């Protein structure tokens, strides 16, 4: 049983949050906690110069609102919103905040995943904690 489980979510509706929460609750020790995390991916520099600072603020505001909605749907109070590379941020946050298990959804890989690797695959390869991948 785990005392602190991290559930990274996509805010585009592709994460089965109810299934992730159910699995996390099964794995969670009595008195443990669940944290829901979303990472706003870094915009490549060649695109960033075409965007205004207002777009970044608008994206952050939307992500905070949507993350709160997803957490409420799951019945989870602890949420984290980060910027940067998703896989690296998930693993680093789990290590820095003593999460002892990551429950992450695995989507059907896109063509680009064949070259870059999916976030779930990156987390599995680099996490120092247990990782439970949902299919």
Q: For residues 42 and 83, give the distance between their C-alpha atoms in angstroms, rounded to a whole number.
A: 6
CB 105 within 8 A of CB 12: no
CA distance 54 to 16: 31
Query: Is 104 a residue whose pLDDT tops 80?
Result: yes
Strands 101-105 and 78-83: unpaired
Question: What does each C-alpha distance from 97 to 10, 31, 33, 93 come to in angstroms?
Answer: 20, 17, 12, 6
Pairing label, strands 28-40, 78-83: parallel
Per residue in 57-92, pLDDT tens?
A: 899 999 999 999 999 999 999 999 999 999 999 999
Mean pLDDT of 125-131: 95
pTM: 0.88
State the pLDDT at residue 52: 81
């Amino acid at each position: 049983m785990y005392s602190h489980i991290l559930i990274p979510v996509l805010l585009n509706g592709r994460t089965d949050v109810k299934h992730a929460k159910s699995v996390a609750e099964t794995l969670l020790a009595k008195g443990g906690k669940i944290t829901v995390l979303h990472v706003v991916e870094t915009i490549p520099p060649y695109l960033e110069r075409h965007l205004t600072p207002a777009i970044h603020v608008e994206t952050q505001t939307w992500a905070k609102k949507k993350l709160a909605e997803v957490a409420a749907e799951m019945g989870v109070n602890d949420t984290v919103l980060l910027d940067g590379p998703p896989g690296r941020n998930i693993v680093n946050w789990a290590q820095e905040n003593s999460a002892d298990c990551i429950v992450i959804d695995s989507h059907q890989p896109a063509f680009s995943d064949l070259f870059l690797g999916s976030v779930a695959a990156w987390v599995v390869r680099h996490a120092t904690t247990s990782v439970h991948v949902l299919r």
